[in-house]
Structure 1
Amino acid sequence: MSTTHQSSPTPPSSSEEASGPDGPLGREQAHLAASRAALRAMRADAEALDIADVAANWVNAEVLRGQLDARIEALADLADTPLFFGRLDYLTAPGLERTADGTDGGEDEHRFYIGRRHVHDAQGDPMVIDWRAPVSQPFYRASRADPQDVALRRRFGYTGGALTAYEDEHLSDPDEADTGSALLQREIERPRVGPMRDIVATIQPEQDEIVRSGVGGTICVQGAPGTGKTAVGLHRVAYLLYAHRERLARTGTLVVGPNRSFLHYIEQVLPALGELHVKQTTVDDLVAHVPVKGTDTAAAARLKGDARMAEVLRRAVRDGVRMPTEPLVVVRGSRRWRVPAYELEELVRELTARDMRYGAAAEALPQRIAHAVLVRMEAAGEAPDDRVQDAVARSQPVKAAAKAMWPPVDPVKLVLRLLSEPEFLARCADGVLTDDEQKEILWAKPARGVKSALWTAADAVLVDEAMDLVHRTPSLGHVVLDEAQDLSPMQYRAVGRRCTTGSATVLGDLAQGTTPWATASWPEALSHLGKPEARVEELTRGFRVPRQVIAYASRLLPTIAPGLAPATSVRESAGDLVVRRVAPEELDDAVVAACRRALEREGSIGLIAADPRIPELTRTLSAAGLAHLAPGAETSADARLTLVPASLAKGLEYDYVVLDEPAALVDAEPDARTGLRRLYVALTRAVTGLEVVHAAELPEELGAA
């Protein structure tokens, strides 16, 4: 049984547990104050370091200064963020054996405060242990069935940055009943205002297993709404940077999200965990080689995102390769060296068969030709060396011959030509795309040049593929890909190129796929990513969405994702669910009234509506005097109500959600199944309560309210 002790307003259960300086809560508050002082001292020590004469040269000095500045920044104390959130009291000090008399050292060797970063005192002794350290792992995984040598696990409750409560679990006591953690439940249900926060204090065992997985393997997390998959992915990055910092500092990490509003929403999670310099981007920004000004039809976008386009592009890149018809003559001094056409053709065919990057082959061909010349020189009794070979490779005749056989390729101009010239596309897509498919992806009005082209988002991905066919894309050490279910095969390939020699964490939910090319299965998606061996983990225990709300939304699953198990909520509170039907002429007023009711409560409010309804609702809210924000602006203190287009709702969460006219939301999508998936996303954004306001009939899949 766990007992919660608070300083106020609930009185302590005994005088010993009072919040005075001599009581347990007072001592914990004193340790918090001392830890904060130690953290300030650590930062002051870093700021006082004089590195003026340490480095051997100015380059090393700049690198060292950058590392020191990053260290100082990481040691900043966040006043409203708990420095530690838990404590472990071990039966034996980790790494030590008990002596003959049953002791193994002092109390401090058994006790560890678990927090967001490491803090030590002036003597170097730890006051707070980083949550990622091995000694902290039992805080998340120990249980009465498997106490892992933990006698007591203590959780702390905070109000702002002040420690106000604690709760103990005696894991080694077999007679103590497991009633769950009230503080843990309270933290899960705490109102959400502003950007996404970390879940480091509430990580569950199944989440921790994913977070602490090794850096060498790729993991795919299929997670129902509210299971914390995004937070798990971000905490995994933080863990990997702790456990493999030198390796990942060298190779780099990247977080890829669905849109910029989503990235703005999650941007504070990693800094709160002490990781300040992880790059975050979207797939569109990742492949932003051309300005995107146009839009595709759903059919064209689906075809351009099809994996078959990779073969079309491969053919297009090599379309200009030509076999020689004339021998090559190289003049060296007073002698002429002749390489016959058939031998040049053999060199070209060899490079083609090796399937090298086009640019690497273009660089290799002059050297291969020069080597053929050197073989003839040696046969004639000369003794050329590498310098002679390089000189021959750089000679005008060799460079001209190589360029004629293996001409340079501009990836942007290549894709422009492919989408503008029917004959070129037909040649490259022969046997790959049908005639109708080729007509679908051709631009209606061929562009006169690169700058005048109306590039689409799908075109930009094709350009990225072409660029990789010419020159290899640099690989990072680890990539986190969130909301992955909405990516096309070609987008998966674009992300996969960024981690060919590294690993990835793939996060998504097949039931929330809302693009025309949405992922059908994770094995297929992982194959396109280049990680077919990845492990797939499924999270079904929900911590965010209330039971009543997730049960209502799960009525859609048999239609939108028949193979997925519905999520189960561990929330003690069933949540608030209201489904309100009104007359069509009363719809806008009813939505305003629902927003006013939500604003009477604590926390954030999201009004989610079909994209075409947003302009009208903007005018309605303004006329009603309700200040509201757009997604991505939730940090503003001026308003708690956010007007959210359904297309941007994915990944976001609000304490209370008002859902406007579900039928309009479904009808705004190109097909009914996509519309129902979009509705599923919108229904599952609520953390505490959901009110559905509608005038039209609800989709029959939802049944009776």
Structure 2
Amino acid sequence: MTKQTIKQQEQAHLDEVVQLIQQSEQKMEHNMSTAKADIKEIDRTFGDDVHIGMGDDSVSMAGALSIHQQQQMLAERNNSWQRSHQQLGVLQKLEKTPYFARLDFQELPTGKPETIYIGLSSFTDQNNKFWVYDWRAPISSIYYDGDLGRISYQTPDGQQAVDVHLKRQFIIADGQIQTLYDTAETIGDQMLLEVLDEKASTQMKGIVSTIQREQNQIIRDTESNLLFVQGAAGSGKTSAIMQRIAYLLYRYRKKLTSGQVLMFSPNMLFNDYISHVLPEMGEQNMVQMTYLQYVARRLPKMRLQTLFEQFEQTQQRVHDPVANLMEDLDFFKLETNYAKILNSGGVYFRDLKFKGRVLITKEKIAQIYYGFGPQYKLINRIDGTKQQLLKLLNQRMGQEMRKKWVQETIESLSSEQLRALYDYPDQEFTNGDAEQRFLARKLVQKAFKPLIRQIKQNNFLNITATYQRFLEVVPQLVKISHYEIKGEQWQNHIQEFQQNFKEHKITINEISPYLYLYDLLTGYHGDSEMKFVFIDEIQDYTPFQLAYLKFNFPRARYTMLGDLNQSILVQNKTNSLLKEIARLFDAPKVRVVQLTHSYRSTKQITEFTRGLLTHGEKIVPFDRNGDLPNITVSADEPAMSQTALTQLQQNQADGYVTAIITKDLAQAQAVYERFTAAGQKLTLIKSENQRLANGNLVIPAYLAKGLEFDAVIMWNMSAGQFSEDDRQLIYTIASRAMHRLSILATGTLEPIIAQVPAQLSTQKHS
């Protein structure tokens, strides 16, 4: 059978499926219309019933029952409309591209030959015949995991062996087959080339038709408590993780909601970039935030370091032994053990004040707190102290009722304000004194409410003084000289913390230990409702931060992903990071997956970028050809700017959107001002709170993490701009490019780039 005949037959099948989908859409629209009409009718009759029922002082039992039934009906119709609306959205996506693969197989040992089509979502007709299988269904795994021939896949009833006869892949647009391939491989290279040749977008695409075998193992892992994905730039880490979330929501759909899945992203720009992936796959978005957002919300009155300030600090810090200690897992354990010492001393308190007067002294609170026996744990002490303080407050209420301000307040109240204090209208008292005592108690109770709230919210604790005391005794608990820290350096750090706190500032390294000590003191045990936690760009986290997250989500399963070659915010020993993380989990439940194939960039760009790394040989490029990276070394900055403008125009003529990536924000702002003055239309990305705009842009390196662009211009890669410690930063910038990479410098080229073999790029001087 010729390929043209096969295509005609497949198109006829596709037309039949599209027609059935359209019929389902019409039925769904009818259901929505009916549900909407029912909602209006119930609203109308509900209003009538309530109006009738209000004729008496009370609603009859029958009337109340009727209203309750109507409320239930209204809720049911609303739910019906919501379900139909969601299903209609899925059907509308399926109508354009119902499926992307066909499998012909038979179950072993005695099954009949079967044909199935795999798409973004399942589709069945009114007779419950499956025309399309969801890509996440167990049977669909043989498309991703196996080649032709015998293969096994996991079903709810155990392993099932099948013999695969045909694996056909489609590219379909608007109900028309553009291309089809028969392949013996998992995902044919031709299919990948079609997809990878597409242009970049301001929104990440959730492509499930090209999931690779190693990615599928990540997506469908349901056993690991820690799944650690180390992947080269452009290896599809984030895409696989988004598909993993979609798979988990499908697999556990009866007991898992999107609100029980949390993802920590590198920045808000990236959050926006991936925000459409799950909805495109028919799922609601998970909870999403950055680590900075997560910790900063606990201290709303403090100003936390921004991403920009973190990057600047990392650039300036050659070797900071104090920071190295505080980032370490040993420091987390040191603080955990210090909490035991706090049972016998070291907790500081604040006076409880009322109207400028000290009502309960901090010494009295300390006496209560440490008055409990040694058998009391910290959480028992805090709870016991709260109860005692509330009792004391109740006792002080009687004394406060006799104060002059109470009598003066009562005398100044209007009749309306007085009525508001009574328990009910026309409340009677035995005599005037009884009424005065009643009103005095009401006033003091109201005035004491902020104090009661302070006690319940642990505001009598002086966490700042307690944390500072912890820092002071650290040299007694651990030999800081083992971390190459001198006593003077540690004292300087304590003074810096004090000064920052006075100015309502706190660093990213300090906030996690500060919050952790507070949690230990108050007996916080974390959020037990969160079931899956995903952490992207893991290389920019410290072991302390990761331990703190595990403490906060103790029952969750973790998926951590990143590229240890791209650490730009943390100068840690990236090679030991995985060992540090693994110490937090049971070894049998830890799984490490390496993604070495890079798909984002052309073969030429990938070969060049791996040459920037000391161990780049582990990265395997995909065989998609393009131009060699071009390097231009100009005599001065005006000449470099002209080269960049020329390159921008060339990229634009070729249909490529360009990102000019600079080392830092100051460079990005300077480039933006210079080029816009020259008439170039560019968008400056200077904050993580911006959205990615269409068209050419200028962006500092630390905001480009996780993003990809058609073309990249690496700005000012001149000698003296970087140090050897910036090798990973340079790699991160270069690996953002999909189709074209241009490198600009003045005078002499940066040695890290110059040492890449000459045959991997074209070089010229201008």
Instruction: Pick the TM interval, shorter chain.
Output: 0.7 to 0.9
Partner residue, 1:510: 564
| Closer/same/farther in 2, CA of residues 66 and 453 from structure 1, 3 Å limit | farther
Cα distance in 2 between the residues matched to 1:17 and 1:43:
34
Shift of 1:348: 3.6
Partner residue, 2:283: 275
Partner residue, 2:546: 492
* Deviation string, structure 1 residues 506-549 (Cα, Å, up to 9, x no partner): 10111111233433334334236546541111011111122111
Secondary structure of 2:744's match?
Answer: strand
Shift of 1:283: 0.8
Partner residue, 2:118: 114
| Closer/same/farther in 2, CA of residues 411 and 566 from structure 1, 3 Å limit | farther
| Closer/same/farther in 2, CA of residues 79 and 114 from structure 1, 3 Å limit | same
Partner residue, 2:711: 656
Aligned AA (2:714): L
Cα distance in 1 between the residues matched to 2:144 and 2:386:
60
| Closer/same/farther in 2, CA of residues 525 and 237 from structure 1, 3 Å limit | farther
Aligned ranges for residues 216-235 of structure 1 at < 5 Å?
Answer: 216-235=224-243
Cα distance in 1 between the residues matched to 2:72 and 2:580:
43
* Deviation string, structure 1 residues 91-134 (Cα, Å, up to 9, x no partner): 33x69944xxxx56xxxxx2322111222223332232211001
Partner residue, 2:424: none
1:557 aligns with 2:613: yes
1:73 aligns with 2:86: yes
Shift of 1:350: 3.2
Secondary structure of 2:199's match?
Answer: coil
Aligned ranges for residues 287-326 of structure 1 at < 5 Å?
Answer: 287-288=295-296, 289-290=298-299, 291-294=302-305, 298=317, 299=320, 301-311=323-333, 313-314=335-336, 321-322=343-344
Aligned AA (1:292): R
Secondary structure of 1:485's match?
Answer: helix
Listed as ranges, the gaps of 5+ residues in structure 2 are 43-65, 152-161, 346-368, 388-454, 762-766
Cα distance in 2 between the residues matched to 1:698 and 1:302:
28
Aligned ranges for residues 117-132 of structure 1 at < 5 Å?
Answer: 117-132=121-136
Partner residue, 1:480: 534
Aligned AA (2:143): F
Secondary structure of 1:663's match?
Answer: coil
Aligned ranges for residues 400-411 of structure 1 at < 5 Å?
Answer: none
Percent of paired sites with the same residue: 21
Cα distance in 2 between the residues matched to 1:217 and 1:682:
32
Conserved in 1, the CA contact under 8 Å of 2:603 and 2:622?
Answer: yes
Aligned ranges for residues 236-255 of structure 1 at < 5 Å?
Answer: 236-249=244-257, 252-255=260-263
Conserved in 1, the CA contact under 8 Å of 2:472 and 2:494?
Answer: no
| 80, 86, 90: which one aligns with 2:100 | 86
Partner residue, 1:543: 599
* Deviation string, structure 1 residues 660-687 (Cα, Å, up to 9, x no partner): 12237x836xx522x1100001111111
Cα distance in 1 between the residues matched to 2:602 and 2:232:
13
Cα distance in 1 between the residues matched to 2:67 and 2:126:
24
Shift of 1:553: 1.2
Secondary structure of 1:430's match?
Answer: helix
| Closer/same/farther in 2, CA of residues 251 and 273 from structure 1, 3 Å limit | closer
Conserved in 2, the CA contact under 8 Å of 1:39 and 1:75?
Answer: yes
Partner residue, 2:652: 599
Partner residue, 1:28: 14
| Closer/same/farther in 2, CA of residues 267 and 258 from structure 1, 3 Å limit | same
Cα distance in 1 between the residues matched to 2:508 and 2:248:
32
Cα distance in 1 between the residues matched to 2:73 and 2:511:
38
Shift of 1:408: 9.5
* Deviation string, structure 1 residues 166-224 (Cα, Å, up to 9, x no partner): 324265xxxxx999442332112211222111121100111111111115532101101
TM-score of the pair, normalised by structure 1: 0.75
Cα distance in 2 between the residues matched to 1:554 and 1:509:
13
Secondary structure of 1:349's match?
Answer: coil
1:149 aligns with 2:163: yes
| Closer/same/farther in 2, CA of residues 410 and 600 from structure 1, 3 Å limit | farther
Cα distance in 1 between the residues matched to 2:33 and 2:223:
32
Shift of 1:361: 5.4
Aligned AA (1:91): F
Cα distance in 2 between the residues matched to 1:42 and 1:62:
19
| 563, 572, 582: which one aligns with 2:634 | 582
Cα distance in 2 between the residues matched to 1:267 and 1:222:
23
Query: Which structure has the larger Rg over C-alpha atoms?
Result: 2
Partner residue, 2:398: none
Shift of 1:503: 0.7
1:458 aligns with 2:525: no
Cα distance in 2 between the residues matched to 1:221 and 1:442:
37
Shift of 1:439: 2.5
Higher helix share: 2
1:524 aligns with 2:524: no
TM-score of the pair, normalised by structure 2: 0.69
* Deviation string, structure 1 residues 291-339 (Cα, Å, up to 9, x no partner): 324567543654443334435544665665448xxxxxxxxxxxxxxxx
Shift of 1:453: 1.6
Cα distance in 2 between the residues matched to 1:117 and 1:256:
27
Conserved in 2, the CA contact under 8 Å of 1:227 and 1:541?
Answer: yes
Cα distance in 1 between the residues matched to 2:148 and 2:29:
39
| 206, 217, 220: which one aligns with 1:198 | 206
Root-mean-square deviation (Å): 3.9
Alignment coverage as a number of residue pairs: 599
Aligned ranges for residues 331-370 of structure 1 at < 5 Å?
Answer: 348-352=373-377, 358-360=378-380, 362-363=382-383
1:572 aligns with 2:624: yes
Partner residue, 1:370: none
Shift of 1:428: 4.9
Which region of structure 1 is more displaced relative to structure 2, 66-75 or 113-122? 66-75
| Closer/same/farther in 2, CA of residues 697 and 169 from structure 1, 3 Å limit | same
| Closer/same/farther in 2, CA of residues 503 and 615 from structure 1, 3 Å limit | same
Shift of 1:460: 2.7
Secondary structure of 1:557's match?
Answer: coil
Partner residue, 1:330: none
Listed as ranges, the gaps of 5+ residues in structure 1 are 4-11, 105-109, 172-176, 324-343, 353-357, 368-406
Aligned AA (1:425): L
Shift of 1:474: 0.6
| Closer/same/farther in 2, CA of residues 126 and 624 from structure 1, 3 Å limit | farther
Conserved in 2, the CA contact under 8 Å of 1:39 and 1:119?
Answer: no
Partner residue, 1:684: 735
Aligned AA (2:660): L
Conserved in 2, the CA contact under 8 Å of 1:315 and 1:428?
Answer: no
Cα distance in 1 between the residues matched to 2:268 and 2:67:
41
Which region of structure 1 is more displaced relative to structure 2, 111-120 or 202-211? 111-120
Partner residue, 2:669: 615
Cα distance in 2 between the residues matched to 1:170 and 1:308:
52
Cα distance in 2 between the residues matched to 1:113 and 1:55:
46
Conserved in 2, the CA contact under 8 Å of 1:256 and 1:280?
Answer: yes
| Closer/same/farther in 2, CA of residues 306 and 617 from structure 1, 3 Å limit | same
Secondary structure of 1:512's match?
Answer: coil
Conserved in 2, the CA contact under 8 Å of 1:500 and 1:530?
Answer: no
Conserved in 2, the CA contact under 8 Å of 1:485 and 1:510?
Answer: yes
Aligned AA (2:133): I
* Deviation string, structure 1 residues 455-487 (Cα, Å, up to 9, x no partner): 223333223323432311113111111100110
Shift of 1:29: 4.0
Secondary structure of 2:604's match?
Answer: helix
| Closer/same/farther in 2, CA of residues 465 and 166 from structure 1, 3 Å limit | same
Aligned AA (1:598): N
Aligned AA (1:306): D
| Closer/same/farther in 2, CA of residues 17 and 216 from structure 1, 3 Å limit | closer
Which region of structure 1 is more displaced relative to structure 2, 136-145 or 626-635? 626-635
| Closer/same/farther in 2, CA of residues 257 and 164 from structure 1, 3 Å limit | same
Cα distance in 2 between the residues matched to 1:567 and 1:63:
54
